[in-house]
Structure 1
Amino acid sequence: MTGAQTLLDVTRLVSRSWTKRRSTGIDRVCEAYARHFRERAQAVVQHRGIVKVLSRRDSDALFDLLLQPGEGFRRKLIRFAPLALARSPSRIEGEGRIYLNPSHTDFDLPTHHEWTEKSDLRGVYFLHDLIPLTHPRLTGAHAVKRHLGRVRGLLSHGFGAIVNTRATQNELAVFAGKRGLGLPPVAVAPLAGADLSACCDGHADLALEKGVQEPYFLCIGTIERRKNYTMLLNVWDVLAKEYGASCPKLVIVGQEGPQSAPIFEALRARPDLAKLVRFETSAKDEEVGRLLARSRALLMPTHAEGYGLPVVEALQIGTPVIANDIPSFREIGQGIPMLLDVEDELAWKRAIGRFAFSDHDRDRQLNMMGRFVPPTWQSHFAIIDPWLESLSDLKQVSTERIQVEC
């Protein structure tokens, strides 16, 4: 299989650029895939079962728009899209080419898999996590239903699956085994964090400029129930009583999610925490990098995570991490973070107190930073490219469902 034979789904990138929302981890993956494949792929866009395959010329134009969106993105897309979509077919003669979807867009729909089969395409899907299925109480019923459709669709029709950790791979295997479904070939390829090192140089006082006094701790992630910020508010309640005016601060950086209201309400119900806890809902990467570099530690009490890019980014710039003891963090942390049970609030309180006012535990992590090997996009695609090539040698995914170790 040559690169020119790849069809790359860019639907999520179009949506993100149109809405101007800040990038999540999945968005960053989609952008990395667009940059890597743009010279040897045709772009695919879809909406609820309606699929369009752009020509190479129109694909190049769309990749240019998506990878350098700028302020005029909407105007340029409105000018570009009508004609480009009008001359883009829905059904093609795929001749066994790879269709690659790096997001979770619409492969829960039966019509999507009908399209890949009738177009003679080999669908390869990036499954970022199984959280709605493993932790349904942390999300809504609609999200559970859609993700169930995605995972079932991948297992029943996918020619291959890409996952970010062996933890996600294991969860997929358990799901398939319980339902008597076979696994397509699976590639495990860790994700690269953003390069925040340049953001930290010469800007150590940014935290103070934003009114954040040391010592402080940082959380990074969408403000939603799954991230477990309410537990940290409980911990800070106790810290405030114990340390008084010298209590460390907490900064939470993230976009507001669909379940953010109860978290803000919990903070408003504790006016005594107003000077200790603050939310930054529109921080740019440069600001996040500077805050992260100056913080005593990154806190990740999330109940579940498919990967955890902030952990990689923190370790990459030498910031210690205190996180929930879950499989993905054990894997990507390479034995460096302090991992604690989020049900043990007392353990979190003690650890935060030690990291705030003593250097012993913190120095232990700092001394281990030299052995951290951060994943890169180069190492990611060094796994993916030959693996995709190997899929071209498989004749029938339904009869040759094997697990590819990478």
Structure 2
Amino acid sequence: MFKRHIFQVVDRANADEIGSTTPPRVIAYDVVRLFIGPSFLTPRGIDRVDLALARHIFSNESSRNVGVLPTPAGVYALSATQVRRLLAYIQELWAEDAGFGRDLQLQLLLDKIARRQDDALQAPSVRPLLLRQKVWRMLRMLRATSFFPHRFAGRAVPANAVYLNIGQLGLAMPSFFNWLAKRPDISRAMMMHDAIPVDYPHLVGENAPKHHRQMIRTAAEHADCMIFNSAYTRDSVSAVMADLGRPCPPALVRSLPLPAAFADVEASVAELAGTRYFLAVSTIEPRKNFALLLRVWQHFVATMGEEAPHLVIVGSPGNDADKILAPLESDPALANRVHHVAGLSSPALASLLLGAAGMLCPSLAEGFGLPLLEANALGAPAIATDIPAHRELASATTVLLPADDEQGWARAIAATPDVVMRRRPHIPFAMTEGAYCADIVDFITRIRGRAA
């Protein structure tokens, strides 16, 4: 069902740089993406991966592993205890451990679907956090966790450690990596999620291509090894590195894992039994092509009326989200069939997917299609755009369509059969967070630093 090569492929180019070491080596884990977690209503796919890997690395409070936090005032090292406090706070904030029966956003969604004709009772649309709200949430986290670093990483990170950066965000700030110049004993492992802003500048903000190119330049200059989520990402990032005059270092191509909740889900949402609905999961931004789905659903509502299926859009508001979702504000009939929810926990999302008629992935460009992987894992039909990242993950039942084929999408969605008591299938171990974390740690701890 799943392509074997997507789970673990090691690029053996320059393989002489990969050597064996005597475990365990200390891991210096970059926590900047997790540190700014309170500024997001809900985690993205890579945020869940970042959190899972950090929990794995800091599972033991007495661990010698350290956190690394770049700030404008310097790059600091954090003890395992400090990082564990941060992780516990973020876990609770994002409600990743909450059962779907206790998920407030899910309950609001169920209310919206049940009140099909009562426009006055429709819940307000989800808005992005304002700057003051983000600052307040960050201050609350600092107060709750006593998360005040005081040791500089250049001196505090143990000798011959492995620096691991999964979050990618800090790579846009070259000064955050100056400390590594004085520590050639430290090996550097970095992950790039995609090269989309460089390859598709028209799909992102004005400054994104420049910042993303800097991220890739920083990785090319400092990384001893790279981690990629797909062969497509490896090839596209390697092409940008070549354009910068840099070779891509030894690399691991490793599919992202399923959130743990997808392996643990036991049942679909009982309140939605008999309701035909589809899921689309992603940040609300132009690149995700939600406008296509809204046009398709306008057609369904116009031609099918009350027989039209429901569409549940799960994702935090991103760039131009108000414009993208504007039809829901102006068209009550459409809003009765299309529902946007943000802040949904992984258990709630897994349960929704288990009962969905299908997963819709209309994105124009992706480095990795996590929603498609999730649909495949739970046996849900999937309709996705015909792009390289989706082709790597597509199963025999995946329907791949052009991103602008509105009629084709409408026909494929209408042809998707109703759900007949779907049970969670067996999840291959290679798809779990535990296997993913073990593979990443195994790979990075075999990389020799520049002083070796």
Moved more, 342-351 or 141-150: 141-150
Distance 1:285 1:386 in 2: 27
Distance 1:203 1:194, change over 3 A: same
Who is 2:382 aligned against?
321
Q: Deviations over 1:309-358 (max 9, x none)?
A: 22222222221111111111221234442111111111101101111xx4
Matches within 5 A, 1:201-220: 201-207=266-272, 214-220=275-281
TM-score normalised according to structure 1 size: 0.83
Who is 1:110 aligned against?
174
Distance 2:430 2:373 in 1: 7
Unpaired runs of 5+ residues, structure 1, are 397-406
Distance 1:371 1:379 in 2: 12
Distance 1:146 1:237, change over 3 A: same
Picking from 352, 376, 380, the partner of 2:432 is: 376
Deviation, structure 1 residue 254: 1.2
Deviation, structure 1 residue 307: 1.4
Picking from 43, 66, 75, the partner of 1:42 is: 66
8 Å CA contact retained: 2:377, 2:427? no
8 Å CA contact retained: 2:74, 2:152? no
8 Å CA contact retained: 1:165, 1:188? yes
Who is 1:339 aligned against?
400
Who is 1:59 aligned against?
80
8 Å CA contact retained: 1:49, 1:111? no
Picking from 94, 109, 132, the partner of 2:197 is: 132
Picking from 30, 33, 36, the partner of 2:53 is: 33
Distance 1:62 1:173, change over 3 A: closer
8 Å CA contact retained: 2:267, 2:354? no
Distance 1:95 1:205, change over 3 A: closer
8 Å CA contact retained: 1:49, 1:112? no
Deviation, structure 1 residue 202: 4.8
Unpaired runs of 5+ residues, structure 2, are 1-20, 94-136
Deviation, structure 1 residue 114: 1.8
Q: Deviations over 1:144-200 (max 9, x none)?
A: 222111001111222111111111111112222334321111111111112445775
Q: Deviations over 1:45-79 (max 9, x none)?
A: 1124720013xxx3323224313544799667437
1:99 and 2:120 matched: no
Identity %: 29
Distance 1:207 1:374 in 2: 31
Who is 2:368 aligned against?
307
Q: Deviations over 1:340-396 (max 9, x none)?
A: 1111111101101111xx46xx99xx9xx7798862223323432332233127668
8 Å CA contact retained: 1:315, 1:372? no
Distance 1:255 1:349 in 2: 25
Picking from 218, 227, 233, the partner of 1:168 is: 233
Amino acid at match of 2:251: V
1:185 and 2:250 matched: yes
- Secondary structure, counterpart of 1:384 in structure 2: helix
8 Å CA contact retained: 2:89, 2:141? no
Deviation, structure 1 residue 241: 3.0
Who is 1:11 aligned against?
32
Amino acid at match of 2:228: V
Amino acid at match of 1:153: T
Distance 2:26 2:194 in 1: 27
8 Å CA contact retained: 2:268, 2:355? no
8 Å CA contact retained: 1:7, 1:44? yes
Distance 1:79 1:374 in 2: 36
Distance 1:136 1:202 in 2: 41
1:385 and 2:438 matched: no
Amino acid at match of 1:89: F
The structure with higher relative contact order (CA 8 Å, sep 6+) is 2
1:258 and 2:324 matched: no
- Secondary structure, counterpart of 1:140 in structure 2: coil
Who is 2:107 aligned against?
none
Distance 2:339 2:412 in 1: 20
8 Å CA contact retained: 2:226, 2:250? yes
Amino acid at match of 2:26: Q
Deviation, structure 1 residue 40: 4.5
TM-score normalised according to structure 2 size: 0.75
Deviation, structure 1 residue 247: 1.7
- Secondary structure, counterpart of 2:368 in structure 1: coil
- Secondary structure, counterpart of 1:391 in structure 2: coil
- Secondary structure, counterpart of 1:187 in structure 2: strand
Amino acid at match of 1:308: G
Distance 2:202 2:314 in 1: 24
Distance 1:241 1:125 in 2: 49
Who is 1:401 aligned against?
none
Amino acid at match of 1:34: A
Deviation, structure 1 residue 26: 1.7
Distance 2:384 2:393 in 1: 12
